[in-house]
Chain A
């Protein structure tokens, strides 16, 4: 339940509704048309290199069927985001099984037993040995897949979904981890199957801002808070189960006119904590951001340090909402809970970086009846 927000698209029926169904139907019709008319156009005038025409019924059938299987396999491969050995086995295995069965059915052994049923004798070898046939199959595949690929890439770029952001985050995490030399190859050993998230990413998505790290954020981060808390980190690194989690906040406010409200999100997990050790304050423009570190406390066999992040917006308004986007990297194991009443836990972290992009927007579209108010 790391990212509970990821369950939302399923609950709200966003992934398979009437619109998605008709899009699927349209793609199916397009693929069928391509898979018939491309072999039709090519084979109607094609001959083998020994002059025998290729326009016979059985050649046409094998060409179309093979093109179909390959297009479908490529489409499945595009849909798969997490390739374990099992996935490889089944995808390549299904292609191999198709060709095995094809050659078996077109073999002379089966023909001699059942001439009437297996009368495609010699077809597979004859057809699939022609370069023209493979060129046709490659052409049909690209015509079917390229629009899907382009569409998906543009959708990922312009309107990333929550699961895409989370997957990207995990990949960045694992790349940073690999950069530290822990794993020789870029493979994820984290469980990628079930992950959940909380509200922080929801705002990131619905605001339309994508998940790319703002270069400005990177630059400003690197320039400022370098040594002090890193030293603290290094000191604390060897303590068992306790890590420092100094957050750094960097905000980039969008245009600042209008409405706002004074929001402070605080860690209210433990009542009665005396959190008054300010670590950082920053107040450009109309936003005051302060991060306050609360003292450590022991919970069971681990000790945690909580942090309170206060964000004050100086201008006032009565209407619109503020969306707070947050992104973290460089965290080994973490649980980030953001917004009111939640805590940041970080176990074994070297650095915890919080980019807080505060962007004033119009009230988000009421997509599914959800309101986001602060």
Chain B
């Protein structure tokens, strides 16, 4: 028998409590799946063609200058164990290399993604916190203190292994060499340059004094405050080459941006002709079977040359179209055989 108590215990008769919320019930019907596969397939084929064609218009030129073979120009730099070896590589471009041209250096068999290597840096030091200059991070060892127990700034294996080959590019015109200006501004990430890496404040007006009591990394030729004496905005921890190097690469074969060729006579690109690349060969890679190369490339809206993306899109697009046809055949065959059976 009904009473008010029983009625009071009843749950609310709202849409939410009675599970009557309005809902959308999609169902995988043939009318949705097959056309959508076809659409996706065609869209991907279109995108793939666009990407592939764009990628084909990009020019890339690369050259390995490690000097492994005896007849290569830089071979003598590999056997000489002294510093300041320079070698000269002559090459020629057959067509105009449209600008702006980007100049990369590439390394292979170089594992910047190794875990112990990757954590070996001190973020506080690099953010300009002098409190950590005298007490480098424990992760930096064995590159935290030198043999005399002096703290190293900037500590760590990443900073210590900075790439220190330098290049000069000359165009050979009628036997004379004309230097191609290389622009090294803004080659690192904006956030790296402006926020993440900060120089320590100068002490008594001298930038070098803020590094007192510390020593340079073991493999560096010069300390951090002498990386670029001509430009204070490129000195110390704000040095663009330093920042580019500190941004770890993900794969054992990588390229890092070295310079851009955008100025002067070469703003439109590198004209066809003979060129000479002068390498100040300082970086030893043969001990771990690594290789060094230089790469020239131009870019488009999608970046550098990337055949993989275009081809992958084309392949996936065609597979989608094929799958949609197969599904249509299966569906139609099944439907009509079904109706025949029903008779």
A317 at the interface (CB under 8 A from B): no
Q: Which of B21, B188, B248 has the most CB of A within 10 A?
A: B21
Counting contact residues on chain B (CB < 8 A from A), the size range is 35 or more
Q: When the two chains form their complex, are residues B25 and A83 in contact, meaning their CB atoms are under 8 A apart?
A: yes
Residues of chain A contacted by B292 (CB below 8 angstroms)? none
Q: Which of B37, B250, B320, B334 has the most CB of A within 10 A?
A: B250
B179 at the interface (CB under 8 A from A): no
Give the distance in Å from the alpha carbon of A139 to the alpha carbon of B33 in the complex: 18
Interface size on A, residues (CB 8 A): 81
Q: When the two chains form their complex, are residues A57 and B249 in contact, meaning their CB atoms are under 8 A apart?
A: yes
Q: When the two chains form their complex, are residues B249 and A55 in contact, meaning their CB atoms are under 8 A apart?
A: yes
A192 at the interface (CB under 8 A from B): yes
Q: When the two chains form their complex, are residues B320 and A142 in contact, meaning their CB atoms are under 8 A apart?
A: yes
Q: When the two chains form their complex, are residues A45 and B330 in contact, meaning their CB atoms are under 8 A apart?
A: no
Known contacts A142-B44, A157-B330, A158-B334; is-contact A111 B254 (Cβ 8 Å) = no
Residues of chain A contacted by B189 (CB below 8 angstroms)? 52, 122, 126
Q: When the two chains form their complex, are residues B20 and A38 in contact, meaning their CB atoms are under 8 A apart?
A: no
Q: Which one of A2-10, A19-27, A148-156, A329-337 is at the interface?
A: A148-156
Q: From A50, A52, A122, A187, give the contact of B23 (CB < 8 A).
A: A187
Give the distance in Å from the alpha carbon of A120 to the alpha carbon of B259 in the complex: 25
Q: When the two chains form their complex, are residues A130 and B303 in contact, meaning their CB atoms are under 8 A apart?
A: yes
Give the distance in Å from the alpha carbon of A193 to the alpha carbon of B18 in the complex: 10
Q: When the two chains form their complex, are residues A81 and B196 in contact, meaning their CB atoms are under 8 A apart?
A: no
Q: When the two chains form their complex, are residues B25 and A216 in contact, meaning their CB atoms are under 8 A apart?
A: no
Q: When the two chains form their complex, are residues A51 and B260 in contact, meaning their CB atoms are under 8 A apart?
A: yes
Give the distance in Å from the alpha carbon of A63 to the alpha carbon of B113 in the complex: 16
B343 at the interface (CB under 8 A from A): yes
The digit string for A31-59, where 1 denotes a CB below 8 A from any CB of B, is 00000001011111111111111111111
B1 at the interface (CB under 8 A from A): no
Q: When the two chains form their complex, are residues B251 and A44 in contact, meaning their CB atoms are under 8 A apart?
A: yes
Known contacts A108-B191, A171-B27; is-contact A142 B251 (Cβ 8 Å) = no
Known contacts A43-B250, A84-B23, A111-B195; is-contact A254 B316 (Cβ 8 Å) = no
Q: When the two chains form their complex, are residues A53 and B33 in contact, meaning their CB atoms are under 8 A apart?
A: no
Known contacts A132-B306, A252-B342, A254-B341; is-contact A153 B28 (Cβ 8 Å) = yes
Q: When the two chains form their complex, are residues A214 and B342 in contact, meaning their CB atoms are under 8 A apart?
A: yes
A362 at the interface (CB under 8 A from B): no
Considering the complex, which residues of chain B in the window 233-251 have a beta carbon less than 8 Å from any beta carbon of chain A? Answer: 247-251
A115 at the interface (CB under 8 A from B): yes
A131 at the interface (CB under 8 A from B): yes
Q: When the two chains form their complex, are residues A210 and B338 in contact, meaning their CB atoms are under 8 A apart?
A: yes
Give the distance in Å from the alpha carbon of A126 to the alpha carbon of B27 in the complex: 39
Q: When the two chains form their complex, are residues B257 and A131 in contact, meaning their CB atoms are under 8 A apart?
A: no
Which residue on A lies nearest to B33, using beta carbons?
A153
Q: Which one of B160-168, B283-291, B294-302 is at the interface?
A: B294-302
Residues of chain B contacted by A357 (CB below 8 angstroms)? 342
Q: When the two chains form their complex, are residues B124 and A55 in contact, meaning their CB atoms are under 8 A apart?
A: no
Residues of chain A contacted by B129 (CB below 8 angstroms)? 115
A90 at the interface (CB under 8 A from B): no
Q: When the two chains form their complex, are residues B303 and A46 in contact, meaning their CB atoms are under 8 A apart?
A: yes
Q: When the two chains form their complex, are residues A132 and B309 in contact, meaning their CB atoms are under 8 A apart?
A: yes
Q: From A53, A108, A193, A216, give the contact of B339 (CB < 8 A).
A: A216
Q: From A44, A53, A188, A216, give the contact of B22 (CB < 8 A).
A: A188
Q: From B22, B256, B257, give the contact of A187 (CB < 8 A).
A: B22
Give the distance in Å from the alpha carbon of A126 to the alpha carbon of B309 in the complex: 20
A294 at the interface (CB under 8 A from B): no
Q: Which of A56, A111, A116, A146 has the most CB of B within 10 A?
A: A56
Q: When the two chains form their complex, are residues A83 and B251 in contact, meaning their CB atoms are under 8 A apart?
A: no
Give the distance in Å from the alpha carbon of A87 to the alpha carbon of B308 in the complex: 37
Residues of chain B contacted by A40 (CB below 8 angstroms)? 251
The digit string for B119-154, where 1 denotes a CB below 8 A from any CB of A, is 000011001010000000100000000000000000
Residues of chain A contacted by B195 (CB below 8 angstroms)? 108, 111-112, 121-122
Q: When the two chains form their complex, are residues B37 and A150 in contact, meaning their CB atoms are under 8 A apart?
A: yes
Q: When the two chains form their complex, are residues A154 and B327 in contact, meaning their CB atoms are under 8 A apart?
A: yes
B87 at the interface (CB under 8 A from A): no
Q: When the two chains form their complex, are residues A146 and B25 in contact, meaning their CB atoms are under 8 A apart?
A: no
Residues of chain A contacted by B186 (CB below 8 angstroms)? 50
Which residue on A lies nearest to B255, using beta carbons?
A53
Looking at the assembled complex, report how far the CB atom of A204 sits from the nearest CB atom of chain B, in whole angstroms: 13
Give the distance in Å from the alpha carbon of A58 to the alpha carbon of B248 in the complex: 8
Residues of chain A contacted by B343 (CB below 8 angstroms)? 216, 252
Q: When the two chains form their complex, are residues A135 and B254 in contact, meaning their CB atoms are under 8 A apart?
A: no
Considering the complex, which residues of chain B in the window 1-48 have a beta carbon less than 8 Å from any beta carbon of chain A? Answer: 18-28, 30, 33, 37, 40, 44, 47
Residues of chain B contacted by A43 (CB below 8 angstroms)? 250
Q: From B113, B303, B327, B342, give the contact of A132 (CB < 8 A).
A: B303
Looking at the assembled complex, report how far the CB atom of A309 sits from the nearest CB atom of chain B, in whole angstroms: 20
Q: When the two chains form their complex, are residues B196 and A121 in contact, meaning their CB atoms are under 8 A apart?
A: yes
The digit string for A55-75, where 1 denotes a CB below 8 A from any CB of B, is 111111100000000000000
Residues of chain B contacted by A58 (CB below 8 angstroms)? 247-248
Q: From B112, B196, B341, give the contact of A111 (CB < 8 A).
A: B196
Give the distance in Å from the alpha carbon of A286 to the alpha carbon of B313 in the complex: 58
Residues of chain A contacted by B190 (CB below 8 angstroms)? 122
Known contacts A51-B299, A86-B21, A132-B303; is-contact A41 B26 (Cβ 8 Å) = no
Question: What 10 pairs across the A-B complex have the smallest Cβ distances?
Answer: A122-B191, A47-B304, A51-B102, A214-B342, A47-B303, A115-B123, A60-B250, A187-B22, A84-B21, A83-B24
Q: List 19 A-B contacts (CB under 8 A).
A: A40-B251, A41-B312, A49-B302, A52-B257, A53-B249, A53-B254, A57-B113, A58-B247, A121-B192, A122-B190, A146-B40, A170-B25, A171-B25, A187-B24, A189-B22, A190-B20, A191-B18, A210-B338, A217-B342
